[in-house]
Amino acid sequence: MNRFDNTPTRLHLITHRERLGKKHGTGGWEKISTWIDNYVDTLASIGIDTEVTYLDETLSNVAAAQEDEPKAIKAHIHRLYDRFQSDRQSLLILGGHDIVPLYPLLDKTDDWPLDKFALSDSFYVDFLEDEAQHTPQASIGRFPDGGADQGRLLAGQLRRACELHARGGILRLSHTAGLSTVKWKSATDHLYGRLSKTADRLLYSPPVGLKVSFLQGVKKKIVPRDLPADSILFFNVHGHRSNPEWFGQGTLGLQPKVVDAQLLRRAQLENCLLLCQACHGAAIHGRTTTDSLALCSLKKKAAAFVGCTVTSYSFSTPNGAPSTESGIDALFNRLVDNLVRCGMTLGESLRDAKSYIRLASNYDEKNVFGTIILGDPLLRYARPASE
């Protein structure tokens, strides 16, 4: 694909006006509505048509408590997709799980007593209905709102997308930084080499933590400057099921905490793209900016966050190298290749990566289904002019 392919693309923007108004108040909704209009106008200026759908008007006969609401939403999206007969269509959902629900796929792994479901947006664009594959037919992303904040988080994401598209529709990132467990060094080295020519901003834990502790083997403290603005930030660490914390892990099983909400609130994350392989990295269901690192990073003006809503799983070859066909490592490797080498949009990159992964087990299915984009699927990555 041409890195600067400007073929017109159609975007379907889906939200629920009534729920947003109840959650954020009249003033909050007016703020969100204004930025929806600005976003539509910005896309029109670069040749992208946008169709806005308010689900409370389109699907007024579907009660909020009905379990089949996601299926009704999907049927409507499928009709929109078929109407235009083009594979250059994308979907953007505005609002969190309580505004437009993530679809709960029954967890078939051994972790089902804990996770129960894998929450995903991919369901809405899987028009083939192949339960063994879950192949998305269109790219999809979501701007979450995360908490009753008078619409500030959602309006901020729309404003930021307008700014990025106005300067070319490209994520203009000048740095790369990474943080990984020592245990997963092989997989991290494999992927990080696609993002950066040098590893001078790549840190491993231990000996890295939020606090210096020789008992844990931590010899360096993570500080905000380790997460620079205008960067691709890659995290291959452990995630916490309910707390906004990520952990490292060394050869002795030590697990120092390496990232928390306090650190992200102090970091300059403006225009950063965060790629996170941690378990529950993109968990937003019932969360706000205070207890979700993904939502916290978006509040700090990150361009987008890609991660898994539930437990993620990696697989290695007998010699310890990451699998190239399955597992969360393979999914992110393909995603990064599409972004950096092929110049695809963020949404196209993940759509292709999900289609590429061979679903060899229920763990692969959960990886593919649970990985989502919290951001604009139309954004594109470009190498800095200095490289």
In a shared domain, residues 55 and 132: yes
In a shared domain, residues 236 and 250: yes
Domain housing 98: 10-166
In a shared domain, residues 176 and 143: no
Residue range 368-384: average pLDDT?
86
pTM of the model: 0.94
In a shared domain, residues 216 and 355: yes
Domain presence at residue 112? yes
Residue 65: pLDDT band by 50, 70, 90 thresholds?
Answer: very low
Domain boundary among 141, 166, 191: 166
CATH number of the domain that 268 lies in? 3.40.50.1460
Domain presence at residue 4? no
Domain presence at residue 318? yes
In a shared domain, residues 149 and 263: no
In a shared domain, residues 203 and 160: no
Tokens in use for 191? Answer: 């992927």
In a shared domain, residues 177 and 301: yes
In this predicted model, what pLDDT tens digit does every residue of 228-270 receive, in sequence order? 998 999 999 999 999 999 999 887 778 899 999 999 999 999 9
CATH number of the domain that 57 lies in? 3.40.50.10390
Domain boundary among 142, 166, 190: 166
Domain presence at residue 3? no
In this predicted model, what pLDDT tens digit does every residue of 114-160 receive, in sequence order? 999 999 999 999 988 776 677 899 999 999 998 889 999 999 999 99
Number of independent structural domains in the chain: 2
In a shared domain, residues 155 and 224: no
In a shared domain, residues 51 and 67: yes
In a shared domain, residues 278 and 156: no
Domain boundary among 148, 166, 184: 166
Domain presence at residue 230? yes
In a shared domain, residues 347 and 284: yes
In a shared domain, residues 73 and 161: yes
Question: Is pLDDT above 80 for 44?
Answer: yes
